[in-house]
Structure 1
Amino acid sequence: MDMNAATRPLKPDTGMTLTDAAYRQLRTDIIAGVRPPAERLRIERLSRIYAVGPTPLREALQRLAADSLVIATGNRGFAVAPLEAAEFEDLNTARTAIELQMLRMAIEKGDAVWESRVVAAAYRLGKLDARIRSDDHESLSEWETANREFHFATVSACGSKWLLNVRGLLHDQCDRYRRASVDLKRHERNLAEEHRQIADAVVERDADRASKLVAEHFERTTRILVQVLDAGD
């Protein structure tokens, strides 16, 4: 079954407009790769897939273009933004700078509740890290959620809503790239050990070591996918 063409009727939450629902679902599908990089997003086809009219879809696509997940191609309509090595390197530079600043702030300000959140998120992720090294593709989606929750937990006590918002935008962009990197190279990385070391350094309040480990962790992901994208070119 072609998942790209499978029907995915919108299910708006209470109080949510059709535009909001279309934006949310399309954003989720783009980040998850259901709508692959460079796919032409034809309104008529999307209307059939998501069971929604053209007006909410156009408005949703315009919002996604503002998020840089979609490219508006003038008279040709819209397309999913491609995956490009230079773009990911730039994204990783920005993401790392913000992440490390937030991590230091969280280590300084975090209380016992924050510390417990980090430990719990690390425990859940550790179990899934081991599973994705096998050929268990069904675990990848669950791993993605756990990975996101772990890294968010480490910085969640930073005390700045603006930094958290900017971080969220950058991580949504990076998620598309990281998913490809993890799926391609998950047999070659000991993600469980990488995450365990980060969690230990954070809980021990060792900001210098935690920052170094996170920077290296992000850089490995970037290096792997840049090699893959360059090889594809």
Structure 2
Amino acid sequence: MDSNTAENTGPLIDVALSRMKTAIIRGELAPDTRLKVESLSKAYGLSSSPIREALNRLAQDGIVRATENRGFWVAPISVDDFRDISRLRVLLEREALVDSIEHGDEEWEVSVLTAFHRLSLMEKKLDAGPVALDDNWSDRHRAFHMALLSATPSPLLTGMIASLFDRAERYRRYSAMHRLEPRHKNNEHEALMKAAIGREKEKAANLLQKHIEGTLGRIVGALERQAATVQ
């Protein structure tokens, strides 16, 4: 591939990556769905090259499965997979939060406060439905969590956390479709924000762990209820 072709293909890969990733996380492309390059090319108006490269990148992120002879599939969901995601999130996000509290400056504090305020405003506008199914809430929820951890000096840690957060988001949305009662998290987010801004490292890390593990319990319950209905 010459340099001009690479320059032209690069942005198209990003477009395909963003659109497919969003569709998978939102459940528009359901778990175990076959991802045919030709069909996706037609749907997105792109050639097969950026589609195939985007699928390979999504496979690296864990939300697409690639097989040598059978092509690409949306990754399945399972209790064991989500437990593993949650376990890694606790380990990595605790570390990143302590890092951020130690290294975060005034600009970091402002970013955390701003992200929390934007999330709170959105929750006030929503009705009694599951907040995780609202795209604006999901975007602001992600922004708040990433702001909390943004002062860690490790770009590698940040990247790993972002990837795991997106994998968890697919489960949150699936859970919200099968939840018995809506859940609003603002009290948990507020306590987490105050502990972080107050530079209470251990308290903040423990609150974050409890937050992640609480989500784990609710989603496992939703997955088990859904599995029972199809048996």
TM-score, with normalisation over the residues of structure 1? 0.85
Range moving further from structure 2, 182-191 or 22-31: 182-191
Instruction: Indicate how the Cα distance of structure 1 residues 104 and 187 shifts in structure 2: closer, same or farther if over 3 A, else same.
Output: same
* Residue matched to 2:208: 214
Q: How does 1:61-76 map to 2 (within 5 A)?
A: 61-76=55-70
Instruction: Indicate how the Cα distance of structure 1 residues 88 and 37 shifts in structure 2: closer, same or farther if over 3 A, else same.
Output: same
Q: How does 1:1-233 map to 2 (within 5 A)?
A: 16-132=10-126, 134-135=128-129, 140-185=134-179, 187-233=181-227
Instruction: Indicate how the Cα distance of structure 1 residues 222 and 137 shifts in structure 2: closer, same or farther if over 3 A, else same.
Output: closer
Unaligned residue ranges in structure 1 (runs of 5+): 1-12
- How many Å separate the matches in 1 of 2:100 and 2:200? 11
Question: Percent identity among equivalent residues?
Answer: 34
Q: How many residues align?
A: 221
TM-score, with normalisation over the residues of structure 2? 0.86
Partner of 2:28, secondary structure, is: coil
- How many Å separate the matches in 1 of 2:33 and 2:126? 27
1:182 to partner: Cα distance:
4.2
1:199 to partner: Cα distance:
0.8
- How many Å separate the matches in 1 of 2:21 and 2:174? 17
Deviation by residue 1:38-84 (Cα, 9 ceiling, x = unmatched): 11112232122111223332232222222221112343321100111
- How many Å separate the matches in 2 of 1:182 and 1:109? 35
- How many Å separate the matches in 2 of 1:170 and 1:25? 18
Unaligned residue ranges in structure 2 (runs of 5+): 1-6
Q: Aligned-residue CA RMSD in angstroms? A: 2.4
Specify the code of the residue in structure 2 equivalent to 1:43.
V
